[in-house]
Structure 1
């Protein structure tokens, strides 16, 4: 049994579905092959259920400010952890159902099964051979778990299992403080769980600016204990708990461990060896990020499996680029968007454009603003956070920013737009900044940059008529 296809897409996550929509505009001779659950990583175990948890925890944490607002009775508020987890699953299921609506419309072109190359351009799925002119690989990723941790069974979980918990543990060690580890750690601490956050690096959430990183550490430390610059080993206790011991000599006993050590691309058992590829360093070194082509092969790679920018809007872009090129005879290169990352902690952590580390050695100026004393954050009783912005000293062009500030997502989007348009700080200063808003803090940081620019004369931030 066999069939021919102009394009075969392996994986029905965000990247695969986006690629399918692109290909279908050019040819109907396309198949979508998926092994495992449908519904996208974002909807099932990533972006969306985590944001529900974060929102519940943030709302509950606001009770600490009620009395200063004149709102009485906050001492009587409690949290029902089982109901919280059920609420998360209810919304998760709604998000997944919306994705499944689009999958169901694909019909017979959707194949459920594991695909494997048995020859170049020949896939085998469920015993059927598919001869494909082009193939898009969008098989996603899975959490990294040290092999010996599997022996702890359900006591060691990843984000793939976390949202299935019927109840929250009384204590948990979160090993890995990237975005998801930090988000869940802070949220659980606010819901009354004893949290220990352990990170091998001395940076959290991917921050490279030492000033902003220290602010983040200070903020998290007020809500849960942090052990940074150390790695962890696990062992069982007689009481049935897990003992976590770090290389710097600390230890603690907890009910559960959340392994948040990152994700590994799903390239196992795809049969890519038929192409003679050296996969010892993964796929990302072999992929053109502007075409998503794998070397000069009739293969295109998109999404988390590519390990380039594992963020939803970037994953969707990669699927679109891969699908566009897989459906056409000529490969086209596309300019990628300004890098933009958000950790939905409180305050939010934003990295947009070039990082502080990437700009090391360049002739830049830095504008910064503390949000501890800022009009709008004072009104909101959210007086914490710090913003740092980087610009070229000679031209004043905006290059990047790292921050941890309240409602930072809006500041980040504003800066991303400015960078996409290659705006200078002077250009941006022509924009109105409304009072009183968090954006006024951005204006202060930009003004600090203008004051440092080469050849800058004092004057109004207005155009002459």
Structure 2
């Protein structure tokens, strides 16, 4: 019996779990190389023509609604070009790269990954994993030094940063091996050690060897950007990478910048015993967030003892012996901030140097970022880019999403457009900051008639019993439909609460849906329901659980 490649419309899918259910239903009918796409309302697969009705019936039984199938012609189908060395060659080995390699390998492609340094990319080696484990250590140390309960007498000695760093490095090594290196043999793709640069539109050079591929993915990530401040490059400054390699706690730390990296690492060192000064050019912290969010985190960090200076003009940086100094101007007055270490945390720049992208007709933006369209194609339609190298949202889960999508598009197993409307963002300070959807200003600019609620944390019972009431929940609502279109939280565990808000925003839940749902009492998640109630009621006039 003839095996065809089908594209089948499937209605009712709303998320990645739905994709998995449809994929399982098709595989039970014998389908191979299944790719379901809830955003495109379709599934693509290979199946014997005598089993297509069985496959559709399986989908119906799963709770979804199949439409008419289309047989993909040879022009539509994947025809892997074995004339080239590889079907897909990936430059980089981080979250986007591995997601792409796994997707491509599962679809039968011949795949290679080129890495010039350490396998695993930013997140596991120098980003998420090391920073978050050190942040946790700092938080525990900070609570031991000072806790909000009057009946507890806690204290701590000097932090052994060398021992903490060694424990962190052991964790990184374990996760790099289990979550990255071990998967290379599991999925059967090639790892090529060396630096890749393009020779032409279909060829790269690695270690002097020329390698051709049908398609390419640039997933080289980004690294810390260093601003042009006189004298800065002449001193021994820290970046987010080298700060996590220190073996001793500095007495004084001056931080240039106060975005998420600056705030997280600044608070970590403060909790370990460092006197920290955060400096930034803008007039408020997290200037792209709602003002209430900026004010709340400013208040929290100030209460904890960090020194925040905004509206800064940097004049010069100098070093005299072991002491470093940053000369700044604020409101027309000059100040000198002295420190043992200076941390530069002013954003990241894409790793595109050395790739010789011009040889492949790949264009970059003003900051060196690889420019892509909605399908993640570059200006060369056989070359794709994903993750931090595009300077999109700097989250590993976004990189992985983009990597898998780019691989599917590059190989022709799917045609998917990138959709980043509902990406939650988290800053892991204490309290943490979590946001999803539109800010109030963004919603107004898009033409929404907006209603908002801003619930202070002292109205959330869990925050009261924790004696941690600096923060807020802010909801942005479309007044016409009452749908939630934005949620912004500053609180303990905001990073966990935001997932519920993300589902509400992504799937169009209304304020009434939230207020008519059960929220466990004495959880931070209850704050979402209370903030929703605040749209129409004064929650201070309600008893506990009265919502």
Map of 1:216-227 to 2, 5 A cutoff? 216-222=297-303, 223-227=305-309
**Is the partner of 1:288 in helix, strand or coil?**
coil
Question: How many Å separate the matches in 1 of 2:381 and 2:145?
Answer: 58
1:283 CA displacement: 6.5
Residue deviations 1:207-241 (CA, integer Å, cap 9, x gap): 52112211111111222101112143443343332
Query: CA 1:146–1:305 in 2, change beyond 3 Å: closer, same or farther?
Result: same
Give the unaligned 5+ runs of structure 1. Answer: 453-460
Distance 1:257 1:233, change over 3 A: farther
Aligned residue for 1:268?
A: 353
Q: 2:370 & 2:121 partners in 1: Cα distance?
A: 25
Q: What is aligned with 1:313? A: 397
- Does 1:430 find its partner at 2:516? yes
Conservation of the 8 A alpha-carbon contact between 2:161 and 2:246 = no
Q: Please state how far the C-alpha of 1:357 moved relative to its aligned partner.
A: 3.2
1:91 to 171, 178, 190: 171
- Larger RCO, structure (CA 8 Å, separation 6 or more): 1
| Residue 125, structure 1, aligned to residue 125, structure 2 | no
Match of 2:477 among 374, 386, 391: 391
Paired with 1:421 and 1:113, the residues of 2 have a C-alpha distance of 44
Aligned-partner Cα distance in 2 for 1:301–1:104: 24
8 Å contact kept, 1:65–1:381: no
In the TM superposition, residue 76 of structure 1 has moved relative to its aligned partner by: 5.5
Shift of 1:384: 1.6
Report the counterpart of residue 196 of structure 1 in structure 2: 277
Measured after TM superposition, the shift of residue 23 of structure 1 is 0.9
Question: Mapping of 1:171-250 within 5 angstroms?
Answer: 171-205=252-286, 207-222=288-303, 223-248=305-330, 249-250=334-335
**Distance apart, 1:447 and its partner CA:** 1.1
Residue 86 of structure 1, CA deviation: 2.7
Q: Does residue 1:149 correspond to 2:251, yes or no? A: no
Partners in 2 of 1:192 and 1:80 — Cα distance? 11
Counterparts of 1:332 and 1:301, CA distance in 2 = 14
CA contact (8 A) 2:113 2:190 kept: yes
Q: Given that residues 242 and 254 in structure 1 are in contact (C-alpha distance below 8 angstroms), is that contact kept between their aligned partners in structure 2?
A: yes
From the superposition, tell whether residues 374 and 123 of structure 1 become closer, same or farther in structure 2 (CA, over 3 Å).
Answer: same
Q: Which moved more, 1:228-237 or 1:244-253?
A: 228-237
**1:38 has 2:124 as partner:** no
Q: What is the distance in 2 between the residues matched to 1:256 and 1:379?
A: 38
Q: Report which stretch shifted further, 263-272 or 310-319.
A: 263-272
Give 1:130 shift. 1.1
- Matching residue of 2:160: 80
- Give 1:309 deviation, angstroms: 1.4
Q: Which runs of 4+ in 1 moved over 6 A?
A: none
Structure 1 length as normaliser, TM-score? 0.90
Of 248-257 and 75-84, more deviation after overlay is shown by: 75-84
Shift of 1:334: 4.8
**C-alpha contact (below 8 Å) 2:431/2:492 kept by paired residues:** yes
The question of 1:327 aligning with 2:411 is answered yes
Q: Distance in 1 between matches of 2:431 and 2:276?
A: 18
Aligned to 2:36: none
Gaps in structure 2 of 5+ consecutive residues = 1-82, 539-545
Q: Structure 1's 86 and 30: CA in aligned 2 closer, same or farther, altered over 3 A? A: closer
1:329, CA displacement in angstroms? Answer: 6.8
In structure 2, the CA distance between the partners of 1:28 and 1:247, relative to structure 1 (3 Å rule), is same
Q: 1:293 aligns with which of 377, 397, 400?
A: 377
1:457 is aligned to none
Identify if the C-alpha distance between structure 1 residues 234 and 101 changes in structure 2 by more than 3 Å, giving closer, same or farther.
Answer: farther
Q: Indicate conservation of the 8 Å contact 2:144/2:156, yes or no.
A: no
- Residue 4, structure 1, aligned to residue 90, structure 2: no
CA pair 226-76 structure 1, distance change in 2 beyond 3 A: closer
Question: Structure 1 residue 355: deviation in Å?
Answer: 2.2
Deviation at 1:3, TM superposition (A): 6.2
| Equivalent in 407, 417, 439 of residue 355 of structure 1 | 439
**Contact preservation (8 Å) 1:182, 1:205:** no
- Tell me: CA distance 1:94–1:346, structure 2 relative to 1, closer, same or farther (3 Å): same
Distance verdict in 2 for CA 1:8–1:216, change over 3 Å: same
The C-alpha deviation readout for 1:230-286, integer Å capped at 9, x for no partner, is 143443343332110113222111111111111101111212112445434357683
Q: Is the 8 A contact 1:372 1:383 kept in 2?
A: yes
* SS of match in other structure, 2:441: coil
State how 1:372-383 maps to structure 2 within 5 Å: 372-383=458-469
- Shift of the 231–15 alpha-carbon distance from structure 1 to 2, 3 Å rule, reads farther
- 1:251 aligned to 329, 336, 342, which one? 336
Q: 2: CA distance between counterparts of 1:105 and 1:84? A: 32
8 Å Cα contact 1:293-1:300 kept in structure 2: yes
Q: 1:76 to 1:367 in 2, by over 3 A?
A: closer
In the alignment, is the contact (CA less than 8 A) between 2:470 and 2:491 conserved in 1?
yes
Cα root mean square deviation, aligned: 2.5
The equivalent of 1:458 in structure 2 is none
Cα deviation, residue 431, structure 1: 1.1
Report the Cα distance in structure 2 between the residues aligned to 1:67 and 1:347, rounded to whole angstroms. Answer: 14
| Shift, 1:158, TM fit | 0.7
